[in-house]
Amino acid sequence: MEWIVLVASGMLEAVWATALSASKGFKKLWPSVVFVVSLVVSMAGLAFAMSRIPTGTAYAVWVGIGAVLTVLLAVVRKEERLTLARGALLALLVASVIGLKAVS
35-45 pLDDT tens trace: 999 999 999 99
Return the higher-pLDDT residue of 65 and 101. 65
Q: DSSP for the chain? A: -HHHHHHHHHHHHHHHHHHHHHTTTTTSHHHHHHHHHHHHHHHHHHHHHTTTS-HHHHHHHHHHHHHHHHHHHHHHTTSS---HHHHHHHHHHHHHHHHHHHH-
Q: What does pTM read for this prediction?
A: 0.88
User: How far is it, in rounded angstroms, from Cα 73 to Cα 23?
Assistant: 16
pLDDT of residue 102: 86
Average pLDDT, the chain: 94
Residue 104 has pLDDT above 80, yes or no: no
CA angle 72, 78, 84 (to 5 degrees): 55
Q: How many percent of the chain have pLDDT more than 90?
A: 90
* Mean pLDDT of the 89-103 span: 90
What are the domain boundaries of the chain? 2-103
